[in-house]
Structure 1
Amino acid sequence: MKMKMGSRGGFMEIIMFMIISTATMAAEQPKPGCQSMCGNLSVPYPFGMEEGCYMERKFFIRCDNTSTADPPSPFLSDSTIDVLRIDLGGELRVRNWVGSDCYSSSGPSSSFQTWLRSGLYNISSTKNKFIAIGCDTIAIITGNTGQDYTTGCL
C-alpha cells in the first residue's frame, strides 16, 4: 500500500487485522524460554523475538533494545514500522510515518511519501481514518488485494 498525503510530517496509527487461525489465537503464552516483553509491549505466540520463538518469519518482532532505545522499541519484522499493540483476537496496531508535501513561496520545497507493505495483514476499513489536510491537497492510497485499487480524497 502506498500512501501520499499532503500534510506536515508525523506519525499515523494504523490498525491491521491479522489472518491467524483460531487454534493459533488460543496460544497466547510465549513459548517456554522465549522473551515475552519488548519495552511495554507483550509479545505472545505466534509472535516472537528470537529464532524458534515465532511461528513463521512473518510473525517476527524485532526488539530494539540498544542504549538509544529507552524503553526498548518493537518493530514489525525487519521493518521500521513500530508495533503498538498485539491483540490475538485479530488486531495489530502499528505506527507509520505520515506523508507530506511542503511548499514555500517559490514552490515545492519537500515531499515525503510513505509506504506500508503487508501480505499477512489487512488494513481495517472501519477503524482507521484517512485524512488530507491543506489547500490544493490530494491524498491517495494504492494497493492490491488480488486486484489493484486506488482511492483518495482532495
Structure 2
Amino acid sequence: MVFPIPKRDFRQVLFPAVILTVVSLVTAASSNCQTTCGNVTIPYPFGTARGCYLNRYFYVRCNDSAPGGPTLQLWGAPSVKVLSISLSGELRVNTYIGRDCYTQSGARRRPVKAYAILPAFPFSTTKNKFTAVGCDTFAMTNGDE
C-alpha cells in the first residue's frame, strides 16, 4: 500500500509491535491507566505512566498541548507520533522526512536528516517503502538484518 505524503514533514511508517498474553491485558485493564490519547487507543503493553507499560520501549506520552489536539508520542521521541496501536502486532507512526534541497538560484538549503532508532520495533518488510528521489541523493538503512 502506498501512503500519501501529508502536508507537514511526516511520513507514515509501520512497525510490528510485540503481542502479549490475555493475562497482561486483563492486568492493565484493571488498573487506573490512561487508555486513550486523542483518537488513539493505548492497549497494554503500552502505557503513559509507571506500572502501565511493559518496559521503557512501550512508554508513550500523551501531548495534550500539541497543535491540532492531543497526540501520542513514542518514548522520548517527540518527532515520532503514534497513529495507532493494534494488538494484532502493528504500531503505526509518523516520522520526519529527510530532505536536501536547493533554491531556484542553486543555493543549498539547510538539509533535514531523518532517522528512526527503534530497537524494540523492527520495520515491517511488507508494509514499508524506503524511497529516495532527487539529485545528489543518498539514502541508506542500517540494522541487524
Q: Which residue does 2:125 correspond to in 1? A: 125
Q: Secondary structure at the match of 2:93?
A: strand
Q: Provide the alpha-carbon RMSD of the alignment.
A: 2.4
Q: Which residue does 1:112 correspond to in 2? A: 112
| Alpha-carbon distance in 1 for matches of 2:42, 2:8 | 29
| Alpha-carbon distance in 2 for matches of 1:25, 1:87 | 17
Residues 1:82 and 2:81 aligned together: yes
**Identical residues among aligned pairs (%):** 32
| Alpha-carbon distance in 2 for matches of 1:88, 1:25 | 14
| Gapped regions of structure 2 (runs ≥ 5) | 1-6
**Conservation of the 8 A alpha-carbon contact between 1:14 and 1:93:** yes
Q: Which residue does 2:97 correspond to in 1? A: 98
Q: From the superposition, tell whether residues 49 and 125 of structure 1 become closer, same or farther in structure 2 (CA, over 3 Å).
A: same
TM-score (norm 1): 0.77
**Conservation of the 8 A alpha-carbon contact between 1:36 and 1:44:** yes
Structure number with higher strand proportion: 1
In structure 2, what residue type is equivalent to 1:88?
A: L
| Gapped regions of structure 1 (runs ≥ 5) | 1-7, 148-154
Total equivalences in the alignment: 136
